[in-house]
Amino acid sequence: MISALLSYEFLQNAFLAGIIIGLIAPLLGLFIVVRRLALIADALSHVALAGIAGSLYLSQQVLLFSALNPVYFGIGAAVGGSLLIEKLRSVYKHYEELAIPVILSGGIGLGAIFISLSQGFSADLIGYLFGSVSAVSRQDLLVVVVIAIIVTLFIYLFYKELFVLSFDAEYSKVSGVNSRFIQLSFMVVTALVIGASMRIVGILLVSSLMTVPVAAAMQIAKSFKQAMIYSVVLGELAVIIGLVSAFYLDIAPGGTIVMTSIFLLLIVIGWKKIRGEKKVLLKKGEAA
């Protein structure tokens, strides 16, 4: 594996991109889970699918589009979807959650139309849906690096505002936090992470990497910062083990990454349960 990693550029691209995504996806995913907005990642990923499918269709019809990277279309569609969700949330103030299924449905519908027009699934589209180790180019890696810098800077600069907005939206308004700007920026950054992750994890599975490691981390973390650290560690483990498994088994990395993260979640839940039972037994022994 190490010799192959040193010899082949596409493996280097995939592992570097995977390690970066394993950092930023759970990092941002923690804020998504705490705010109970996990379905937003699913909605934006399906909008990204529409962008990718539309790009692949246009590349068949117009020569100019054949030279453009479909990733840009996917990211653009996801960002557009995030802005539309925010717009709908402001329209339905008392039923904000309606915005998510509406945009998700629109993404699936547009994706289905473009896939039908392009006469079904292609090998390229399958790679975008479930991830591909061999398809990550230097250009894709550069996109991931740029988005990772944007995400890291956003969280660093607005950590306090995000924290307050996540746990007490009403207090954030009273305390002078520009919640509208933070929320809009947060949605755009989430769309960027989804766009960056699609090559490795796949459009249909990227939301899992943003939520499952967080779910595991929240079982054992005693503070928000601990949950952030554990989420990143578990996310990185899932990506690395998943990519290695995908390489040796010659299967889509998205599936192996997600199943690894679920396996890690089950281990954490089992470990916590066993630990809890041991504590009960110790207390009974002390009482006796």
CATH number at 169 reads 1.10.3470.10
What is the reported pLDDT for 174?
66
Structural domain boundaries, residue 59: 2-205
204 three-state secondary structure: coil
Lowest mean pLDDT among 109-118, 208-217, 254-263: 109-118
Lowest mean pLDDT among 30-44, 109-123, 205-219, 248-262: 109-123
> Is 88 contained in some domain?
yes
| Inter-CA distances, 168 with 128, 179, 238, Å | 37, 11, 31
Average of pLDDT values for 244-260?
88
Mean pLDDT taken over the chain: 84
Measured in degrees and rounded to the nearest 5, phi and psi for residue 266 equal -65, -40
Count of domains for the chain? 1
Asked whether residue 126 is assigned to any structural domain, the reply reads yes
Other beta carbons less than 10 A from residue 157's beta carbon: 11
267 in any annotated domain: no
The residue type of 255 is G
* Residue 123 confidence (pLDDT): 63
112 assigned to some structural domain: yes
Residue with more model confidence, 64 or 186: 186
Is residue 281 situated within a structural domain?
A: no
Whether 167 has a pLDDT exceeding 90, the answer reads no
Rounded mean pLDDT of 127-154?
Answer: 86
pLDDT tens column, 72-122: 888 999 999 999 988 888 887 777 778 888 898 999 899 888 888 877 656
Instruction: Quote the pLDDT of residue 228.
Output: 93
Domain presence at residue 101:
yes
Between CA 259 and CA 54 the distance in angstroms is 29
Q: Which residues of 57-76 are buried (b: 16+ CB within 10 A; e: fewer)?
A: bbbeeeeebeeeebbebbbb
Task: Say which range, 104-118, 120-134, 206-220, 262-276, has the weakest mean pLDDT.
Answer: 120-134
Residue 282 lies in a domain: no
Q: Which of 35-39, 106-110, 211-215 has the lowest mean pLDDT?
A: 35-39
The whole model's pTM is what?
0.85
Structural domain includes residue 166: yes
SS (H, E, C) 108-149: HHHHHHHHHHCCCCCHHHHHHHHCCCCCCCHHHHHHHHHHHH
Write out the two tokens for 24. 């930023």
User: Residue written as tokens 């192996």?
Assistant: 256
Q: Following CA atoms 167, 211, 112, 108 in sequence, which dihedral angle do they give, to the nearest 10 degrees?
A: -20
Q: What is the mean pLDDT of residues 231-241?
A: 93
Lowest mean pLDDT among 11-15, 150-154, 171-175: 171-175
pLDDT at 281: 45
